[in-house]
């Protein structure tokens, strides 16, 4: 009986969900590189042409690797105070992992048809959907302090929400923008660079303040 109870407790642990998540993130990152290949037996001219042809795949791989890595880091950060998970958290976590596992497809579209509005729109929509799911997961954990060892400080949680909301907003705006200008939509993604720097610096300050004992 005690063995069965241990199984049920483990199934509700955050550690088990994080272990599954790490595996899915790692596999998705690995699959991104499968399209980066060159035919064998090329002469020098053919090699140069093939190398030029594969560079969009390399660029798309690098972009998606950074995107997935950022979501992986954020995923661990929102679970940093969490010890247990409930049905809602599990459902949102699995939905997020399903979207992560799908990322090689929009990455291939972007690499092979990067000038097509539909490809840029699909890629932008995929990232926006991942961001929205992780945002919902962050809010769910914030509003369930009983799942953690300590409650997530409200300023830290609000900064996490703002950080994820900025990702959703930028990539969601890029979806209709892609049908006006695919290149413009891809350039629009760069808006996140200064935004992420600001939210990252704020997060470091807030976590440092939260870890300091109250001066009384």
Distances (CA, A) of 214 to 94, 203, 209, 211: 38, 19, 9, 9
Ranges 12-16, 138-142, 146-150, 164-168, most confident: 164-168
Domain assignment present for residue 10? The answer is: no
Domain assignment present for residue 216? The answer is: no
Beta bridge pairs of residue 113: none
Domain of residue 58, residue span? 25-210
16-58 residue pLDDT tens: 999 999 999 999 999 999 888 888 887 888 888 888 888 999 9
8 A C-beta contact, residue 16 and residue 7: no
pLDDT greater than 80 at residue 66 = yes
Alpha helices per DSSP H over the chain: 2-11, 14-31, 44-78, 87-102, 104-112, 117-142, 154-178, 182-188, 192-211
pLDDT greater than 70 at residue 6 = no
pLDDT for residue 7: 38
Domain assignment present for residue 20? The answer is: no
Domain assignment present for residue 7? The answer is: no
**Domain count along the chain:** 1
Classify burial at 178, counting beta carbons within 10 Å of its beta carbon; exposed 0-12, middle 13-18, buried 19 or more: buried
Model confidence at 211, in pLDDT bands (50, 70, 90)?
low
Share the mean pLDDT of the chain: 87
Whose structure tokens read 């959907």?
A: 129
8 A C-beta contact, residue 170 and residue 191: yes
Domain assignment present for residue 4? The answer is: no
Domain assignment present for residue 1? The answer is: no
7-27 residue pLDDT tens: 344 557 888 999 999 999 999
Q: Using a pLDDT cut of 70, give the percent of the chain over it.
A: 91
Element of type H or E holding 152: none
């Amino acid at each position: 009986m005690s063995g069965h109870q241990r199984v049920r407790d483990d199934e509700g642990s955050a550690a088990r969900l994080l272990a599954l998540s790490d595996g899915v993130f790692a596999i998705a990152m690995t699959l991104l590189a499968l399209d980066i290949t060159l035919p064998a037996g090329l002469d020098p001219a053919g090699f140069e042409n093939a190398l030029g042809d594969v560079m969009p795949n390399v660029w798309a791989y690098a972009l998606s690797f950074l995107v997935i890595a950022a979501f992986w880091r954020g995923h661990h950060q929102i679970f940093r105070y969490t010890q247990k998970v409930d049905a809602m958290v599990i459902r949102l976590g699995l939905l997020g992992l399903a979207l992560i596992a799908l990322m090689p497809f929009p990455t291939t579209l972007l690499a092979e048809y990067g000038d097509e509005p539909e490809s840029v729109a699909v890629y932008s929509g995929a990232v926006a959907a991942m961001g929205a799911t992780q945002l919902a997961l962050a809010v769910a954990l914030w509003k369930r302090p009983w799942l953690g060892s300590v409650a997530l400080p409200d300023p830290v949680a609000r900064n996490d929400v703002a950080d994820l909301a900025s990702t959703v907003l930028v990539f969601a705006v890029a979806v209709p923008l892609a049908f006006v200008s695919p290149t413009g939509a891809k350039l629009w993604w760069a808006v996140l660079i200064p935004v992420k720097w600001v939210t990252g610096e704020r997060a470091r300050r807030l976590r440092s303040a939260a870890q300091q004992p109250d001066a009384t």
